[in-house]
Amino acid sequence: MELSDVHGAAERIDGVVRSLPVQGARWLTEQVGGPVYLVPENLQRAGSFKIRGAYNRIAQLSDDERRRGVVAASAGNHAQGVALAGQLLDVAVTVFMPLDASIPKIEATRGYGADVRFHGATVDEALVEARAFADETGAVLIHPFDHEHVVAGQGTLGLEIVDKIPEVKTVVVCTGGGGLLAGVAFAIKQVKPDVKVVGVQAEGASTYPASLEAGEPISRERMNTMADGIAIARPGDIPFELVQQHVDEFRTVSEDELSRAVLLLLERAKLVVEPSGAAATAAVMQAPRDFEPPVAITISGGNVDSLVLLRIIRHGMAAAGRYLSISVHTADFPGSLADLLDVLKEHKANVVDVFHDRTDPRVSIGDVRIDIQMETRSAEQRDQILSALHERGYHVEVLDG
């Protein structure tokens, strides 16, 4: 791939892709020790960066290929990017999505005119079915990341970053199959080779660290992460080669760190971001002094189910020490619940929900199980509440989320 390929892609997508202003993040600037900018592709058309690569790929198909239509596999963001590109270019689109794909992503993909079908539990399984469909019908497969035209399209974001933040020293990129990271790193290194590029994956779906160590793409058998948009079992061959050459460092982030990043982006930056789109932010929050400013953080997507977002927010609040869910076994007598709540009142916890259960077989006759969910102001306050309960003789179990 040449830099001219990225410039050509930039010309093709001009007027299709929104030119979004970068957003300063003072709450991260203080931690990093210098300017931090958010690159909000969650505000892009179709809700992610994917329209860049999808449009660049489909725009270069022959007339015969366009008549045959295109097919894609995606958990949602690539699906919407391909569907929108197909709508704009008058090309029929079929998309295969995992069975548990997000409902808003499904409906948005259909809203752009695509024929949505379902197969498998992961994007990789859906991709197998998409390939079979392409072989059977002659439709052109639009791979989510493993094609030079797609990578060149994503690379246009790299050109925009150095244009909008000419003094940038570090660029942090959310990573799944590697199309965005490869394109951004390639473009930036051609223009400003001294800029450090850092890729970030979710721990539960990290494929690049082991693959880079082995010197070749390696498949991961099992994945477990809320960041479905970057849960890819194997790096693409084309992105992997470019990542090897142009990416300076790789990091992974935990589920707690992802949920905290989603929460902070919502509260401090006023941005709705899906977990996969918050991976780069999570990495900077994890070790802010490791990144030389000015830092540019990609926010790759914002397509998230509202119900899922509620669970992520609660998870993020718990990870930040701002939400506590406990189960207490205590003697069942008049006033026992009031005594327990008095402890929480003393420490100014805000009780959200109380569940009182005498029928749990694990509870002795004459005892009761009380589950309480509460909001706390900080990890310090949470720890003080737990210590006070233990000091009063309560047996306390901290529940997940």
CATH 3.30.70.260 given to domain 321-398 = yes
- Of 22-31, 129-138, 310-319, minimum mean pLDDT range: 310-319
pLDDT surpasses 60 at 276: yes
Cα atoms in the Cβ-side hemisphere of radius 13 Å centred on 359: 1
pLDDT at position 75 is 80
Domain spans in the chain, listed from the N-terminal domain onward = 3-47+151-316, 50-141, 321-398
Q: What residue type is assigned to position 18 of the chain?
A: R
User: Comparing 3-47+151-316 with 50-141, is the CATH topology the same?
Assistant: yes
Q: Could you write out the DSSP letters of every residue in 96-133?
A: EE-TT--HHHHHHHHHTT-EEEE-SSSHHHHHHHHHHH
* Higher per-residue pLDDT: 90 or 104: 90
pLDDT at position 97 is 92
CATH class of the region 50-141: alpha beta
Pairwise CA distance, residues 232 & 223, whole Å: 8
pLDDT at position 392 is 87
CATH class of the region 3-47+151-316: alpha beta
Angle separating helix axes 148-164 and 179-191, nearest 10 degrees: 50
Confidence of residue 393 (pLDDT cuts 50, 70, 90): confident
Q: Are 327 and 360 in contact (CB under 8 A)?
A: no
The reported pTM is 0.84
Pairwise CA distance, residues 47 & 35, whole Å: 26
pLDDT surpasses 90 at 227: no
Pairwise CA distance, residues 169 & 85, whole Å: 33
pLDDT at position 401 is 54
Can you read off the two tokens belonging to residue 383? 């720890």
59-74 confidence digits (pLDDT tens)? 999 999 999 999 999 8
Q: Are 129 and 74 in contact (CB under 8 A)?
A: no
Q: Are 392 and 343 in contact (CB under 8 A)?
A: yes
